[in-house]
A and B are shown apart, each in its own frame.
Chain A
């Protein structure tokens, strides 16, 4: 059974710092991995999608990497801003027919960027 873990559970940093959020998964048989942002009481906003054949994806100040064989992904945020404060979730989609229909989520990292 696929399990997704995110470390740290919470992170507080001063504005301007570069930071790394970690996501690990137990089953390397995945189709893709997706990073989301969730603001308090809101839905999820998709940030980056990495296919299983890719090593990384970039969007603006965000860079996500994927090492499928070791079951790890990282989300790198450059020059953090107070507006980046949110919960960041990673989710994997399984590659077997009986698991490919759904996303398995980690419990998220709550990020606070202090002005």
Chain B
């Protein structure tokens, strides 16, 4: 089956630093990737849609200057949490839509971010 990886799987950082999370589709091309956030014992919330070669589309209430998204190639999207604060601590999950089979999204294993 299609595989999506995320790196790192877990990161702990100090308040005020920036953290970059990578999402890669390993065996297919993904024109579109999605970023979700999940707080403990809560549901997943769509943060933004990342399109290769163009600007990301952010959901209402998500600060685009806070969560920078770059989708520079058909297999890689990055999410950078800038000037992270403890309230940004969360589980971040990406998904990738196969360009050839667009009705299916494949989820990455997630990145657990803890900001001290």
Do chains A and B interact in one complex?
A: no
